[in-house]
Homo-oligomer: A and B are copies of this chain.
């Protein structure tokens, strides 16, 4: 399979017209003064379902054949992909089945069910969600919709990159760098395709939580690396163990060095997004912003855009971010 390109992202953008919200690119004079440059936030937390995941899922489902659509779609996720896939199914009239952990937050399960998806719960310790999903697919003919490692998924997410480049251009801004959160790499590689198709000189980076920086280490060594742990970061959306088979070669081709931030830096970024941008950003959605605020992604004297990729955060975690207000 050849790697997807900019034209595939453009085609996805056409499919998503009137479906995905064209989220705003926000700027804040005080934050700019503090950083000594121009920082833009692509507020993808405002997207339908509270994250960018609707884009890839809708782009995937809308390319399934009529026959495939009749047999439905199946996916596994405890969070944003579940909600994005379920909502894409509702919009396109495709039955969806989502395999979710039995201990997933009640609200996320309820939200996914509210989009009309059938939920199959599994035990994180005893069961394999992939095996359950594959069994459902074999039995019902439902198409498996992977969370990131598929051209239709990552080019759908890449429409975020096209929008950033177009919005910056409309504002008369030439972006030096763009950064996006990274779990399996679907968003960051897609965004790189979209941005670089319009603005080839812009560097694109993927942000990851400390301890879950498999992509940063894979890019540095040239060989796919795995994370030591499967859980243990506040960024619950960014715990994929290793880069994908499609996303990794794309990342090697398109991305600059990885950016790695701590949980504390993520909470500080969430607090700033609350205070200055009036946005609710979830931990995993705030890693690229955290990289910009800490100087790991330099903003001084430059124009930089970061994707805030989701806002599906529970009340307790958001209260922790609020508690970090500056004195």
**Which residues of chain A have a CB within 8 Å of any CB of chain B?**
18, 21-24, 26-30, 33, 43, 45-46, 48, 50, 87, 90, 107, 111, 114-115, 171, 274-275, 277-281, 311, 315, 318-319, 322-323, 325
Contact = CB atoms under 8 A, between A and B. Distances in A.
Closest 7 pairs between A and B when the two form their complex, measured CB to CB: A278-B311, A278-B280, A45-B278, A315-B322, A315-B325, A30-B114, A274-B280
B280 A33 contact: no
B311 A322 contact: no
Contacts of A21: 24, 26
Contacts of A22: 24
28 contacts: A18-B171, A21-B24, A21-B26, A28-B48, A29-B48, A29-B87, A29-B114, A29-B115, A30-B114, A33-B114, A43-B46, A45-B278, A46-B277, A46-B279, A50-B278, A274-B315, A274-B318, A275-B315, A278-B279, A278-B280, A278-B311, A279-B280, A315-B322, A315-B323, A315-B325, A319-B319, A319-B322, A322-B322
Contacts of A43: 46
A325 B110 CA distance: 15
Nearest to A45: B278
Contacts of A115: 29
B311 A318 contact: no
A171 B33 CA distance: 37
A277 to B, nearest CB: 7
